[in-house]
Amino acid sequence: MRAYSKTLVLSTFFFILLLLYFFARRDALLKAEQNGGSLRDVRSAVTFHPPLLRDTQQETRRRQKLTKILSGSKKITRKHPKQFSMSISHKGPMHLALVACRNHLEEALTMMKSALLFSNRKIMFHIFTEESIKLMFETRLKQWLDPLSSKFQYIIREITFSIKDAEEWKKIFQPCAAQHLFLPVVLKDVDSLLYVDTDVLFLRPVEDIWSFLNMFNDTQLAGMTLEHEIPNRIFDHHSIKGIAGINSGVMLMNLTRIRSAVFKNSLIPNGVEWKDLLNHFYEKYKNYITWKDQDMLNIIFHDNPEYLYKLPCQWNYRPQHCMYGSNCKGAEEEGVSILHGNNGVYYDDKQPAFKAVYEAIHGYTIEENMFQSLLYPLQTKFLDTVNTLCGRIPQIFLKQIEKTLKKVYEQRVVIHLGHLQY
């Protein structure tokens, strides 16, 4: 009798589980059919996805060895900043600035597409470009307005150097490389802004990096990642001051604070505001800096470290984080949040993992099924990258994309269930 009772309880338990699975699968299937999806999409919405490729024991030992080496290295620590006294509003659009010149049109549009694919909040794009490609921008963006009109707005602006001797600046600094230095002055009515290079790709919602604004303390006014996580490496050779420089490819800025701040420097004892700071730095360092705009930012924030919030490395993940061994712990744990394919790695075969992500997003057509036309082709491309240092652990690149897409489909299933209830 006791054995019979146990058997009955177990049978009832598994029957209930089977019913739950059946109803979840049925509702997801109905939703997928309404959206033109496939059964494969349904499985993606209601089942667990194991990693694409499992690491071999050799790769596991290699990671453990690398972790041990890194743990003995000098670490750069960062205090956890306190919250803003006044948080950033979630009502208005997020402002994103980019600068695109000459042959960077396709790259810029691919970056913008990645921002729109994974984000829920509205984005206002501030596009600084040359007159010669302005019409091409307009034509391509108008094609997006019909399906995505609720998700973005844009303003196309001229390249503007708000400084004396502007023509001299354009000779020494490439216009597209230095424009972002003048954003606090040019965008006078914008409170907060995210600037990214055109060779950046978002692998998760823009609102996730936007939320770091609420983590700035009372003095911090800009967030950037370090140029490299291991001090004194080859990638730091252009750092003018400090052990490890900062990378300006992703800059999260509170423009209101930048405009009102007084910056210390060796030229003027009492400090100077941002709009005048660039002139002084240009006169002193124009013949000594290699990377121009990035070196100037390194000097500014070396002299004013209290103004800088250091973003985790996964928010500006570049080839140097993996090409000589993994050195971005945040990406290993959480996956890449923002991919930065600098030095042209999207267009050659030196870093096929970076190229695979770019080609997948570039080739994706808005409104297509994102599982079938984006994720699955990308997973397939990574099968050819596992013998490279950057591509040997595909989940570093895929984790956030998979997480975001799964969340989108789960939300759709929940919405559909809610409609059925009413």
Q: Write out pLDDT tens, residues 158-173.
A: 988 766 666 666 666 6
Tell whether 101 and 60 lie within a shared domain.
Answer: no
Dihedral sign of CA atoms 202, 204, 210, 213 in order: negative
Q: What is the pLDDT of residue 296?
A: 83
Question: What integer pLDDT is reported at residue 394 of this predicted model?
Answer: 92
pLDDT of residue 354: 98
Structural tokens at position 120: 């829920």
255 and 303 belong to one structural domain = yes
How confident is the model at residue 176, as a pLDDT? 77
| Total domains, the chain | 2
φ, ψ (nearest 5 deg) of residue 221: -130, -5
pLDDT of residue 315: 99
Domain that holds residue 59: 39-71+329-421
**CB-based burial label for 337 (10 Å; 0-12, 13-18, 19+):** buried
| CATH code, domain with 112 | 3.90.550.10
Sheet holding 222-226, edge to edge: 152-158, 123-129, 94-100, 192-196, 246-254, 222-226, 308-310
- Is 98 in the same domain as 49? no
| Tokens at 369, concatenated | 């099924």
Asked if residue 110 belongs to a domain, the reply is yes
Residues with pLDDT less than 70, the chain: 1-90, 162-175, 231-244, 286-292, 412-422
Q: Tens of pLDDT along 352-399?
A: 999 999 999 999 999 899 999 999 999 999 999 989 999 998 999 999
155, β-bridge pairs: 126
Domain end call among 244, 279, 311: 311
98 and 130 belong to one structural domain? yes
- How far from chain centre, in Å, is Cα 229? 17
Do 346 and 283 sit in the same domain of this protein?
A: no
Q: What are phi and psi of 99, to 5 degrees?
A: -125, 120
Residue 34 counted as domain residue: no
